[in-house]
Structure 1
């Protein structure tokens, strides 16, 4: 059986850079440079091979985009003043704590402090965000079409899964291991209390 040909779709133009492709299968878990060598979920890296899986982010590229503030559409660095979110929303420190994510917040943040929950999607360049809104059916159907400026400061939270050994696989610890799956991004605007 031959490998699928490279897609004619252009990454960063037709398909977001962070999107997983059908030939990028999950491979287990292990040390990952996207999280400073911590144990993380691993995935084959073959962008552009097979079919784009628009509803799925590639785990390594997702973590890299959040850690390095890379635009999920084009994969290039974003800069303060040109970071925009399509799907993020305003929340408060109290609401983040209520979702059991408060461990990532400084203890001196009052519950009423505004925060911007970007979820697992790093901010985009304005031009990339506008292009995405124009081309992506999912984004086009969202009731909130407003692009929101992303704050110049942020907190990164890790989302993890419990990785267990599959029967018959050697050299894998028998005890469950916690592995980082995705990173979540919380924008921290200036606050005057």
Structure 2
């Protein structure tokens, strides 16, 4: 695991903790502790093996980062007051519903309620966010590079795919089920006022 001029890459400094590595293959669908034993897409856990696959989150680490509010850069828990989003964008409950994620929102949220859609990226520590903004070419290219404080309340939405068994016999009925791929994070400002 080395970078430019053969210098070693350090997870949490040069490569975000949540990043997939080429040596971490998808393993299939099985119950997963990252989603309380529900079916989820699995992935081998071998950070540092192969080359980093920047902008491709490791499936298990992504879900763990959102569920446990772990910084995607260093992998350590974030504390209230030190949670920042680089890629989150302000939206409304109506826009979230229009994207098909309304099932995750409380029905009493009016369509014009402001929400912070962080997508699949959990908030970072401020120091980690600033380091990532300084080093990551993708983040440097964003139109909106403003760090936004993450609200103290949030909603986690499971993004699922249909999991079907591999083709076995044409005359055997195949069952399918939903399997969680990623978790989406939606910040809820002024939650008590909702």
Specify the TM-score bucket, using the shorter chain as the normaliser.
over 0.9
The reply to whether residue 156 of structure 1 matches residue 162 of structure 2 is no
The reply to whether residue 10 of structure 1 matches residue 10 of structure 2 is yes
The reply to whether residue 29 of structure 1 matches residue 29 of structure 2 is yes
TM-score (norm 2): 0.92
**More helix per residue:** 2
Moved over 2 A (4+): none
Question: Which position in structure 1 is the counterpart of 2:43?
Answer: 43
Q: Distance in 1 between matches of 2:69 and 2:145?
A: 22
User: 5+ residue gaps in structure 2?
Assistant: 3-7
Matches within 5 A, 1:33-182: 33-168=33-168, 174-182=174-182
Q: Distance in 2 between matches of 1:109 and 1:70?
A: 27
Question: How much has 1:163 moved relative to structure 2?
Answer: 1.0
3-state SS of 1:67 partner: helix
3-state SS of 1:178 partner: strand
- C-alpha RMSD of the superposition: 1.4
Deviations 1:25-60 (A, max 9, x none): 001110000001000000000000000000200000
Q: Distance in 1 between matches of 2:107 and 2:168?
A: 45
Question: Which position in structure 1 is the counterpart of 2:5?
Answer: none
TM-score (norm 1): 0.92
Question: How much has 1:16 moved relative to structure 2?
Answer: 0.1
Question: Which stretch has the larger CA shift, 128-137 or 158-167?
Answer: 158-167
Q: Distance in 1 between matches of 2:178 and 2:92?
A: 28
Question: How much has 1:9 moved relative to structure 2?
Answer: 1.0
Q: Distance in 2 between matches of 1:29 and 1:82?
A: 34
Q: Distance in 1 between matches of 2:95 and 2:187?
A: 14
Question: How much has 1:168 moved relative to structure 2?
Answer: 4.4
3-state SS of 2:130 partner: helix
